[in-house]
């Protein structure tokens, strides 16, 4: 049985341009019910010296990371045991940098690809021309109220195009925390860890690597496909051999600690199941409930759930799952 842990995957301390210590960030995370926090300072790993002590003091799982802040784009690196330099990379040889991260067992994530760039935010806009397909994850939602931001909408569309092109890349949210603002409506990334796992950094990295991830500003949305003998969730691959044409879909909605911090209509939710074929179906959902449909999976290469509702009185996308993939 999976456990869903909520993480903030993009945060800065005073070791770069943040306003707070790692302990203060972890205290904020604990107050708001997060299970974990990635520290991703710009081009420095100085905060790593504190992460074990902060985890022990607060109970918040700290993922040591780094934000590559280059002239051509920003990238989030997790699970690397030592600093990886980017300064020799040009716009066409990102692949070499990603290999250096992977050689250490690390994960490479593209950060806020459509943020304002130079001269407002050096490298904030993603300008690398190759290598995207080797990235492990993509920050499609950034900052507060992310679904309403044009740059995030473009990032979500880019993710969809990458999926259609055959890339299996995990989508996440990252608030890019620099200063704590308790009133802001932030999205969380939820990572599914096995119930028997030690729910520490290694389990979180395994979930990110596999795509067992869902993202939300409010309730947790999950998607599952079932046959008579098996089931598949986000990040899973449905094999082609002996696959029935019709599978049972279940979309579920669960209350979260995040809902205490956003102004959300708790009665009006609608899940859209989207895929490489476009919209598969729509299902109304009640909080802490589930809906089931039998669906034809012929021709599907990927499928995800997108949850629509109202936050601060505005109808918008408020959550989405990562895809279930289909072997071709």
Same fold, 2-213 and 217-326: no
Q: Kindly tell me the burial class for residue 65, based on how many C-beta atoms sit within 10 Å of its own C-beta (0-12, 13-18, 19 or more).
A: buried
At a CB cut-off of 8 Å and minimum separation 6, what does 31 contact?
Answer: none
Instruction: Give the distance, in angstroms, between the CA of residue 135 and the centroid of all CA atoms in the same chain.
Output: 13
- C-alpha distance across the termini of the chain, in Å: 28
Distance (Å, whole) CA 186 – CA 178: 13
CATH number at 217-326: 2.60.40.10
Give me the phi and psi of 6, to 5 degrees please. -95, 130
Please, what is the angle between helix 22-31 and helix 51-58, to 10°? 30
pLDDT digits 0-9 by tens, 57-78: 999 999 999 999 999 999 999 9
Backbone dihedral angles phi then psi of residue 33, each to the nearest 5 degrees:
85, 20
* SS3 call for 177: strand
CA 8/CA 174 separation, integer angstroms: 6
CA dist 288 and 253 (Å) reads 5
| Residue 253 to residue 169: CA distance in whole angstroms | 24
pLDDT class of 198 with cuts at 50, 70, 90: low
Read off the tokens for 265.
């209509």
Exposed, middle or buried, 186 (CB in 10 Å: 0-12/13-18/19+)? buried
Report if pTM > 0.85: yes
Does the pLDDT at position 182 exceed 90? no
What topology does CATH give the domain 2-213? TIM Barrel (3.20.20)
Tokens 């990032």 map to which residue? 155
Cβ contacts of residue 120 below 8 Å, gap of 6+? Answer: none
pLDDT higher than threshold 90 for residue 185: no
Question: Comparing 85-94, 189-198, 230-239, 276-285, which segment has the lowest mean pLDDT?
Answer: 189-198
Binning pLDDT at 50, 70 and 90, where does residue 120 land?
confident
User: Two tokens at 293?
Assistant: 């449909």
Give me the residue label for tokens 């990635």.
38
Distance CA 74, CA 76 (A): 7
What's the pLDDT tens digit per position in 302-316?
999 999 999 999 999
- How far CA 95 is from CA of 92, 171, 321, in Å, comes to 8, 19, 27
Residue 197 has pLDDT above 70, yes or no: no
Instruction: Judge residue 301's burial from the number of C-beta atoms within 10 Å of its C-beta, 0-12 exposed, 13-18 middle, 19 or more buried.
Output: middle
62: tokens are 């700290």
SS3 call for 103? helix
Domain definitions of the chain by residue range: 2-213, 217-326
Could you tell me the pLDDT band of residue 242, with boundaries at 50, 70 and 90? confident
Q: Where are the beta strands (DSSP E) in 71-219?
A: 74-78, 107-110, 137-142, 170-174, 188-194, 213-216
Phi, psi of 273 (to 5 degrees): -95, 110
Phi, psi of 116 (to 5 degrees): -55, 135
């Amino acid at each position: 049985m999976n456990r869903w842990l909520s993480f903030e995957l993009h945060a800065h301390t005073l070791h770069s341009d943040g306003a707070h210590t790692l302990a203060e960030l972890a205290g904020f995370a604990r107050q708001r019910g997060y299970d974990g926090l990635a520290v991703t300072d710009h081009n420095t790993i100085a905060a790593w010296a504190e992460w074990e002590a902060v985890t022990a003091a607060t109970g918040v799982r700290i993922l040591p990371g780094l934000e590559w802040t280059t002239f051509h784009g920003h990238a989030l690196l997790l699970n690397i045991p030592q600093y990886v330099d980017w300064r020799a990379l040009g716009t066409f040889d990102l692949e070499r940098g990603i290999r250096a991260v992977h050689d250490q067992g690390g994960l490479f994530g593209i950060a806020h690809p459509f943020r304002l760039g130079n001269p407002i935010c050096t490298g904030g806009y993603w300008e690398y021309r190759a290598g995207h397909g080797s990235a492990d994850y993509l920050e499609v939602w950034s900052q507060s109220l992310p679904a309403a931001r044009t740059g995030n909408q473009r990032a979500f569309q880019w993710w969809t195009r990458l999926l259609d092109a055959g890339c299996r890349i995990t989508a996440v949210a990252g608030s890019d925390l620099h200063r704590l603002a308790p009133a802001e409506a932030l999205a969380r990334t939820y990572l599914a860890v096995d119930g028997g796992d030690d729910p520490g950094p290694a389990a979180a990295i395994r979930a990110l690597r596999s795509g067992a991830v869902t993202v939300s500003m409010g309730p947790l949305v999950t998607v599952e496909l079932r046959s008579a003998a098996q089931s598949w969730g986000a990040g899973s691959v449905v094999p082609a051999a002996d696959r029935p044409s019709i599978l049972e879909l279940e979309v579920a909605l669960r209350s979260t600690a995040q809902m205490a911090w956003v102004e959300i209509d708790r009665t009006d939710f609608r899940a859209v199941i989207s895929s490489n074929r476009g919209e598969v179906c729509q299902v109304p959902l009640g909080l802490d409930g589930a809906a089931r449909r039998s669906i034809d999976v012929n021709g599907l290469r990927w499928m995800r759930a997108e949850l629509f509702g109202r936050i601060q009185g505005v109808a918008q996308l408020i959550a989405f799952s990562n895809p279930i993939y289909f072997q071709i």
